[in-house]
Amino acid sequence: MVPVGGTRPGVSQLRRGVLQFCVLALLRDGEKYAFELVRELCDAHGLVTSEGTIYPLLSRLRKEEWVSTSWRESETGPPRRYYSLTSTGHRALADFAAEWAPFRTAVDQLLETGEKHG
């Protein structure tokens, strides 16, 4: 049974576990402000999120020193806080990427094996 919102609990947990690394990946090529991150995550299948999710996550990443912030004036409203990846954040993302590929492959193999036997 799929709960309201369309996501099974296990998938939701998986998403929460990798979301911080998805944010780091989005910051890899340059700084962004929170709403840009939300929009790009919403455009990626299965990573739908909200500003209510992203702000606490960004705060945690800042405390871990994986991202740094700077304020900039906006032409269309109040100043915006921009987030950028630190060297520690680059290392964390690289470490995750190194673990993710074999992990994903192992899961895919198990899922494919299950389909063949089912």
pLDDT the model gives residue 51: 81
The mean per-residue pLDDT over the stretch 57-81 comes to 94
pLDDT of 16 > 60? The answer is: yes
pLDDT of 83 > 60? The answer is: yes
CB 58, CB 83: distance < 8 Å: yes
- One of 1.10.20.10, 1.10.10.10, 1.20.1600.10, 3.40.190.170 is the CATH number of 9-113, namely 1.10.10.10
pLDDT, mean over the chain: 87
pLDDT digits (tens, 9 = 90+) for 35-62: 999 999 988 876 777 888 899 999 999 9
pLDDT the model gives residue 95: 97
